[in-house]
Amino acid sequence: MSATDDILDTELPAKPAVLSQLGAEMQKEDPDFARVSDLVNADVGLASAVVKIANSPYIGLGRRIASVHQAVLYLGLGEVFSVVTGLLLRRSFKTNSAEMDRLWDTSSRRAALMSWFAREFRAVSSERAYTCGLFEDCGMGVMLLRAPGYAATMTQLETAANPRELERQQHGLDHVVLSQALVRAWGLPDSIALAVRCHHDVAQLESLAVAPESRTLIALSAIANEAIHRSAHRGPSVWQGCAEQVGRVLGKSIEDIETRMNDAIRLPEAA
């Protein structure tokens, strides 16, 4: 069996039981908020993290959240479900790797930014934007665990002309294949799976064969990634080649997008 076959045959992190329980509660005609709070509070680490994120400036509630129950009441079930999903996703990749820590720190910030931009532009639901941002590069986490030498490859991706081609050359496949597979394995919406799969194709945004929601999520991802890029004071990016398409997809001017991007960059780091 080749290294590529070994990675493709990898057993992806299983969907946590608490996530299935929360999802089942959300599907009810009359969800029990107390039951949702109890499920989250059963895990002390999860509960404290939910409260911390609920108080993040990216959420922008304008009030102090002191408990999971308050988070459920003021954020809504969808938002809390997305936050819990992200926390459990990161927990599913058990390693002390510095590369893994950086990957999830970036993913968490992208998720927070995409959620914030979704609200600012009234584009899609903020919880879907948040989840999409979290899962966008989760395939890199799988590669770090399963592909020998991938940590070294990661250091080359930022400056590579074609990052996915570099991954395919060195490891036989690229991370978006695994990212999409994990989104589907966890039973998340297909619009997120397609956005995750195609987010590197933002230069062809308007011609992608995806549903409008996926196209919007890709546009929000492009803005969030550019904000992260600028915050790190990095050099040229792909933004100039896709900015006009992003604006048309969102129905916003480049000036408006730039203003919101600058506002987001000035926000404190996500919780």
CATH at residue 257:
1.10.3210.10
The pLDDT score that the predictor gives to residue 93 is 86
Q: Are 165 and 187 in a shared domain? A: yes
pLDDT for 1 equals 42
Please list, residue by residue across 221-249, b when 16 or more beta carbons sit within 10 angstroms of its beta carbon and e when fewer do.
Answer: bbbbbbbbbeeeeeeeeebeebbebbbeb
CB 56 within 8 A of CB 75: no
Query: Do both 169 and 211 map to the same domain?
Result: yes
Q: What is the pLDDT of residues 246-263, one digit of tens each?
A: 999 999 999 999 999 999
pLDDT tens readout for residues 129-161: 999 999 999 999 999 988 889 999 998 887 888
Distance between first and last Cα of the chain: 42
Q: Which residues in the chain come in under a pLDDT of 50? A: 1-2, 5, 270-271
Number of independent structural domains in the chain: 2
65 in the same domain as 46: yes
Residue span of the structural domain in which 70 resides: 15-92
Same domain, residue pair 222 and 243 = yes
pLDDT at 269: 58
Nearest to 36 by CA among 8, 3, 77: 77
Question: Same domain for 51 and 165?
Answer: no
Check whether residue 106 and residue 83 sit in a common domain.
no
User: Which of residues 37, 63, 92 is at a domain's end?
Assistant: 92
Residue finishing a domain among 59, 92, 125:
92
Last residue of one domain, picked from the residues 63, 92, 121? 92
221 and 259 in one domain? yes
CB-based contacts of 253, cutoff 8 Å, min separation 6: 247
